[in-house]
């Protein structure tokens, strides 16, 4: 009679150890980025992930953590379906109360938490009615220089919320160009991204067509003359004025972070820990 083989049974403690190790390995396994940009969306302009940029100390901004876009008033059902896998937890809206009232965000089921941080209108930023291109760009430089100082608390509040919150987050204004562009430029600089890449990211908004910009302005309730919009261009000189104003007012970007944005060392470390990978 053939002897019956007894099955080997692992100790319960060893089984738990193996399962825990497997779970830990799975948690540490890098997820494949979900790449969605404005070309895949019908009702959201200027949408993109800021992930992938390298920092001076060898890190990389994580994908699927911080997105930027124009206003979200024209989101379609198809857009909502495409955005769902991104699991956006926060919508940080930089528009004024009037803009939000005129063009409210149209999320589908399970919308993200909305955080309203309206930028203030700085002094000397009134747009001329019949400008030529040179006037337009000069006025945009003045606007960016003013916003660097006047809205330092608002930019700081956005970054503080990012440091404290549980991303992914989407930051936007009306066109996703100026207020959003300044905020993202500050965030990327703080994380250690090169100035060239900061400008490269900002200038990607230049892909907006005149028709798209006209549509956004028309639906936003913002009063901008057609002549101004026709002459308006997204140029590096605006961001030049922004960073120059920071240097003049605060002496350095480092001083701006602490004295203008009012960010603590814990805020900065929190941003780096959450948004950077090796």
Domain coordinates of the chain in residue numbers? 32-277
CB 173 within 8 A of CB 208: no
3-state secondary structure of 132: coil
Helical H runs in 165-209?
179-191, 195-203
Q: What's the first-to-final CA gap in the chain, in angstroms?
A: 62
Share of the chain above pLDDT 70, in %: 85
Q: What is the pLDDT of residue 8?
A: 44
Q: What is the pLDDT of residue 128?
A: 60
Place of tokens 């930019």: 155
Mean pLDDT of the region 86-108: 93
pTM for this structure?
Answer: 0.85
> pLDDT-derived band of residue 121, with 50, 70 and 90 as boundaries?
confident
CATH of 32-277, one of 3.90.1570.30, 3.65.10.10, 3.20.20.70, 3.90.190.10: 3.90.190.10
> pLDDT-derived band of residue 109, with 50, 70 and 90 as boundaries?
confident
Mean pLDDT of the region 20-43: 64
Cβ within 8 Å of residue 35, ≥6 positions away: 49, 63
Would you say residue 25 has pLDDT above 60?
no
Share of the chain above pLDDT 90, in %: 66
Cβ within 8 Å of residue 164, ≥6 positions away: 267, 270
Would you say residue 28 has pLDDT above 60?
no
**E strand segments, the chain:** 48-49, 60-61, 66-69, 90-93, 113-116, 169-172, 276-277
Give the chain's mean pLDDT: 86
Would you say residue 120 has pLDDT above 60?
yes
Q: What is the pLDDT of residue 3?
A: 43
Would you say residue 18 has pLDDT above 90?
no
Range with the poorest average pLDDT among 29-33, 142-146, 203-207, 263-267 = 29-33
Would you say residue 66 has pLDDT above 90?
yes
Q: What is the pLDDT of residue 220?
A: 76
Peptide bond into 168 cis (omega under 30): yes
């Amino acid at each position: 009679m053939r002897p019956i083989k007894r099955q080997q049974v692992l100790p319960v403690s060893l089984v738990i150890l193996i399962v825990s190790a497997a779970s830990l390995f799975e948690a540490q396994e890098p997820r494949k980025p979900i790449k969605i940009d404005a070309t895949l969306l019908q009702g959201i302009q200027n949408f993109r992930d800021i992930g992938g940029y390298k920092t001076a100390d060898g890190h990389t901004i994580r994908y699927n953590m911080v997105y930027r876009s124009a206003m979200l008033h024209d989101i379609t059902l198809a857009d909502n379906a495409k955005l769902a896998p991104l699991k956006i937890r926060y919508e940080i809206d930089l528009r004024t109360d009037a803009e939000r009232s005129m063009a409210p965000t149209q999320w589908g089921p399970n919308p993200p938490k909305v955080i309203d941080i309206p930028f203030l209108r700085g002094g000397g930023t009134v747009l001329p009615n019949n400008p030529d291109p040179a006037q337009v760009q000069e006025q945009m430089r003045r606007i960016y220089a003013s916003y660097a100082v006047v809205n330092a608390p608002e930019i700081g509040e956005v970054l503080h919320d990012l440091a404290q919150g549980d991303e992914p987050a989407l930051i936007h204004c009306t066109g996703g160009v100026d207020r959003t562009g300044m905020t993202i430029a500050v965030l990327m600089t703080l994380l250690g991204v090169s100035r060239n890449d900061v400008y490269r990211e900002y200038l990607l908004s230049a892909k907006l067509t005149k028709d798209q910009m006209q549509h956004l302005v028309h639906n936003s309730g913002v009063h901008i003359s057609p002549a101004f919009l026709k002459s308006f261009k997204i140029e590096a000189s605006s961001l030049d004025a922004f960073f120059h104003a920071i240097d003049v007012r605060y002496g350095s970007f480092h001083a701006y972070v602490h004295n203008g944005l009012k960010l603590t060392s814990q805020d900065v470390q929190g941003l780096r820990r959450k948004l950077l990978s090796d």
